Amino acid sequence: MTAPQRYEVEAVALGDGRAAVDCLGERIVVDASHPDGPLPDAARLLVASFAACMLENLEHTSTYLRFRYRHASIRVVAERGWSPPRLRRLEYELRLDTDEPPGRVELVHRNLLRFGTVTATLAEACEVEGTVTVREPAVVG
């Protein structure tokens, strides 16, 4: 059995309600004071991580399932509860520009949710629901 993969980040409070997270040599400045501040806060970063995980898994899945797409984008909306403070629901729309048949699109969609570290973790913690919208090929005429 292989050892678990480890992730490590370092964060520091910068003052003035800001913090910085250093991850793989990149510095992400975040809002550490108020959820409606000018910078992304921790909850928004978690939602952004969900979106990034879906696109990362799409890239990975496209390789081993030979799933072809020209473009992908995702919109994620999260609902936050206040008592206790937590994400209650994530809703997403994954938009694909592909000629793959509907059955293959659905297979890839299931794999995105099942095999992503962030997607699977959040699905255990809150309700996750979403759709895949396939962009129709342009009609040339």
Give the pLDDT confidence of 36-60 residue by residue, as tens digits: 778 889 999 999 999 999 999 999 9
Find the mean pLDDT for residues 78-102.
Answer: 95
Summarize pLDDT for 96-139 with one digit per residue, the tens: 999 999 999 999 999 999 999 999 999 999 999 999 999 866 55
CATH number of this structure's domain 41-135, picked from the four choices 3.30.300.20, 3.40.50.150, 3.40.50.11810, 3.40.1210.10: 3.30.300.20
Pull the structure tokens for residue 107.
């297979």
- Is the pLDDT score of 140 beyond 60? no
Cβ pair 54, 119 in contact under 8 A: yes
Dihedral angle of Cα 23, 33, 91, 99, to the nearest 10 degrees? -40
Which pLDDT score is estimated for 1?
Answer: 75
Kindly list the domain boundaries of the chain, sorted by start residue: 1-40, 41-135
Contact predicate 87/79, CB 8 Å: yes
Strand ranges for 37-126 from DSSP E: 71-82, 85-97
pLDDT at 35: 67
Cα dihedral 96, 101, 102, 103 in deg (nearest 10)? -120
